Amino acid sequence: MTYTLIVNYALAFLLSFLVSGNNLSANAGAAVGSRSIDYKYALVIALLGYVLGLWLQGTYMKSNIVSGDVALVAMAVAIVIFIIGEGMKVPMSLTGSLYASLVGASFALGHIMSNAVFVLSYWLSLPIIVMFLSYILYKFLSAFSRISFRHIGIYRALSILTVFLLSFSFGANNLGLLWALLGFSYRGLLLIIISSMMGVLLIGWRTLYRLSTGLFTIGPLTSFTVQLFSFIAMEIGTLYSVPMPVTVTTSFGLVGVGAAHRFRIINLRYFNELILGFIASIIVGLIFSYLLIKVI
């Protein structure tokens, strides 16, 4: 293995560790917070979804294959952005900054990612659609559910199912993007599986545990609605090789449900910080990776 390849594997390992652990709450947090499932079982289901999604659909992210140097710079920039965001207590998007860094580094070499325009359009439109559909479905099902409390059990079961579905799409999409940067090698697949499992078991479980013991809960219907449309958005993105930050889709889904409650169940300040962090991570990733390629 060449020096560049070794560094790429090391960076991909770290990114997979971080993105898997930090996004566990986005994939399973709603179900745990609604008391639909214990956090330990949610963790196992999410891990299973990660691995199966990466294995069965990870190659759908083939439009994001780039040269070794571009991948190295992009992954390094994404990690730096994440560290800066953590230090400033600003929620930055690892997936968003990684893809933006790929675009910036490629552009510095005189190329443009073939799916860049489509990805930007998807990022701008899908979260709004998720928010709108979440609002409509929640309003409809909440009115329908007033007829009988037996529907609560159904929504809990559906919420658990969508933990797996959303985690599956996350594995295919976010982890599949990292696998693409390693050329879809079997060694890369094994490395990402191991690092994602470590990320979930070492850092991801803490957030789920806090959600399971918190005083504030959301309803099973809210959990199901948010996770369902987040899964759909992620899955469509995967089929078209579009990297999609799961925290963005779930947050917009929560805003849609929150609108049905007149925004009594969500923290709009945190939502605004999340969106600003997402935008900042994209801009910084584009500029930093472009300049870094030009310098080296």
Tell whether the model's pLDDT for residue 187 goes beyond 50.
Answer: yes
Out of 139-153, 239-253, 270-284, which region has the weakest mean confidence (pLDDT)? 139-153
Q: What is the pLDDT of residue 146?
A: 61
pLDDT > 70: what percent of the chain?
A: 92
| Number of Cβ atoms within 10 Å of the Cβ of 87 | 8
Q: What is the pLDDT of residue 235?
A: 96
Q: What is the chain's mean pLDDT, rounded? A: 89
Query: Of the candidates 20, 16, 26, which has an alpha carbon nearest to the alpha carbon of residue 162?
Result: 26
Q: What is the pLDDT of residue 215?
A: 43
Taking only the tens place, the pLDDT of each residue in 37-86 is 998 999 999 999 999 999 999 999 999 999 878 999 999 999 999 999 88
Q: What is the mean pLDDT of residues 268-290?
A: 89
Taking only the tens place, the pLDDT of each residue in 94-105 is 999 999 999 999
Tell whether the model's pLDDT for residue 9 goes beyond 60.
Answer: yes
CB contact set of 74 (below 8 Å; sequence gap of 6+):
66, 98, 101, 102, 104, 105, 181, 285, 289
Residue 67's identity, in one-letter code, is S
Taking only the tens place, the pLDDT of each residue in 121-154 is 999 898 899 999 999 998 888 777 664 556 788 8
Tell whether the model's pLDDT for residue 212 goes beyond 70.
Answer: no
Tell whether the model's pLDDT for residue 252 goes beyond 80.
Answer: yes
Q: What is the pLDDT of residue 260?
A: 75
Domain boundaries, the chain: 3-295
Name the band, by pLDDT with cuts 50, 70 and 90, for residue 33: confident
Tell me the DSSP string of 87-147: HHT----HHHHHHHHHHHHHHHTT---TTHHHHHHHHHHHHHHHHHHHHHHHHHHHHHHTT
Q: What is the mean pLDDT of residues 157-177?
A: 97
Query: Under a CB-based contact definition with an 8 Å cutoff, are residues 241 and 64 in contact?
Result: yes
